[in-house]
Amino acid sequence: MKAWYIESYGGPDKLRCGDLPEPQITPDDVLVEVRASSVNPIDWKMRSGMTRLILKHDFPLILGNDLAGVVVGVGSRVSGFSVGDAVYARPDKRQIGAFAERIAVQAYEVAPMPAGLDFAEAASLPLVGLTCLQGLGGLAGLAAGQKALIHAGAGGVGTFAIQYAKYLGAQVATTASVAKHDLLQSLGADETIDYRTQDFTAVLKDCDVVLDTVGGDTLRRSVKVLKPGGMIVSVSGPPGPEFAREWGLSLPLSMVVSLMSAGIRRRARAAGGRYRFFIMHASGDQLREIATLVEGGVIRPVIDRVFDFDKTRDALAYAEAGHATGKVVIRGLTGN
């Protein structure tokens, strides 16, 4: 089958397209013909080797962490799915490979596609949706009447997070360039801050939850807007000891991880709050929740561009440049 893969870590030139063996399904898998996939920062981080200390993969490694497609095979122990079903999924971190014609996915990670969406729209949702459900709803416990700051609101996670936070009943502030403020307000943002001309720490205070997708100085300054008892949830900052325990990292690596995040954890505690880094986990059940939200008009996908399969390298480059609004999607070899 055709697939986009790497044989060693490095820059964009390491990503190549070629023929690889068909995926083999276990009794607990479904085999999905990929009709669309989408690009996430984890894709170029994997390609570059930034994740190799915590994510162990063999080469050749097919990239791609989001997909929508059609079931073409079902394992012997699988129930609830049949050949011909339209599904979407975020495969487990050790079983990725959506930039390919077909992929084997564990059945518990798969859910029926939201009704009314095409494959491109459905493929844009799994990773960002699960990040928001698990980060905002689960980890931070964002609730009605609370205040949330969503950094980089025009990004893939941000456009979903704004809608989900409003669904939870929160007051939502977000940072983005001024050209994107109208879109973010249409998604539900109550306050939009131009990160190029405004200092969000001078505008905001008493945030119950900050969702950080930027890291660096933005993360460090976010402590200033935390309400006592509040939490910064980050997908871009340094991992912490909780992450090391959850992922079963070795003792030496756990110590390194804890040192990496010591500064931001100390700053958050000094402000009376908490800091947590996390990476979402695959969940078909939560994808069903997301489908219900989409079908109920609570969430709508936001897509910047759709690239053909043979332009997958261009799709990653476009997304990696950091200016996309919403998600970047790759159309599968088999048309929608």
Q: Using 50, 70 and 90 to split pLDDT, how confident is the model at 49?
A: confident
**pTM, to two decimals:** 0.96
Query: Which tokens go with 23?
Result: 């995926």
Beta strand spans in 242-295 (E): 274-277
Last residue of a domain, one of 243, 262, 277: 277
Q: Using 50, 70 and 90 to split pLDDT, how confident is the model at 66?
A: very high
| pLDDT for res 323 | 87
**How far is it, in rounded angstroms, from Cα 224 to Cα 58?**
42
Percentage above 90 pLDDT, the chain: 85
187 plus 58 within the same structural domain: no
Burial 249-279 (b: 16+ CB within 10 A, else e): beeeebeebbeebeebbebbeebebbbbbbb
Q: Within a domain: residue 22?
A: yes
| pLDDT for res 51 | 80
| pLDDT for res 138 | 95
| pLDDT for res 52 | 75
Q: Within a domain: residue 316?
A: yes
101 plus 190 within the same structural domain: no
Q: Using 50, 70 and 90 to split pLDDT, how confident is the model at 294?
A: very high
Q: Within a domain: residue 108?
A: yes
**How far is it, in rounded angstroms, from Cα 67 to Cα 96?**
10
Q: Within a domain: residue 145?
A: yes
Chain segment 110-139, per-residue pLDDT in tens: 999 999 999 999 999 999 999 999 999 999
Is residue 324 within 8 Å of 158, Cβ to Cβ?
no
Query: Which tokens go with 37?
Result: 């996939």
Mean pLDDT (whole number) for 73-86: 97
Q: Within a domain: residue 290?
A: no
Q: Within a domain: residue 59?
A: yes
| pLDDT for res 53 | 67
| pLDDT for res 56 | 76
Range of lowest pLDDT (12-26, 43-57, 253-267): 43-57
**How far is it, in rounded angstroms, from Cα 47 to Cα 27?**
30
Chain segment 1-26, per-residue pLDDT in tens: 999 999 999 999 999 999 999 999 99
Q: Within a domain: residue 227?
A: yes
Chain segment 166-204, per-residue pLDDT in tens: 999 999 999 999 999 999 999 999 999 999 999 999 999
196 plus 322 within the same structural domain: no
17 plus 46 within the same structural domain: yes
145 plus 249 within the same structural domain: yes
189 plus 228 within the same structural domain: yes
134 plus 97 within the same structural domain: no
Q: Residue 99 maps to which CATH number?
A: 3.90.180.10
Q: Give which of 262, 36, 38, 52 is closest to 155, Cα–Cα.
A: 38
Last residue of a domain, one of 261, 277, 293: 277
Mean pLDDT (whole number) for 213-221: 96
42 plus 135 within the same structural domain: no
H-run or E-run covering 37 = strand 29-38
Instruction: Tell me: pLDDT of 336 over 70.
Output: no
267 plus 310 within the same structural domain: no
Mean pLDDT (whole number) for 290-309: 98
| pLDDT for res 185 | 98
Q: Residue 249 maps to which CATH number?
A: 3.40.50.720
**How far is it, in rounded angstroms, from Cα 281 to Cα 92?**
7
Provide the domain count of the chain.
Answer: 2
137 plus 250 within the same structural domain: yes
CA 164 → CA 100, 103, 233, 241, distances in Å? 30, 29, 15, 28
145 plus 264 within the same structural domain: yes
79 plus 10 within the same structural domain: yes
**How far is it, in rounded angstroms, from Cα 216 to Cα 234?**
11
Q: Using 50, 70 and 90 to split pLDDT, how confident is the model at 335?
A: low
Q: Which range of residues forms the domain containing residue 192?
A: 127-277
Q: Within a domain: residue 282?
A: no
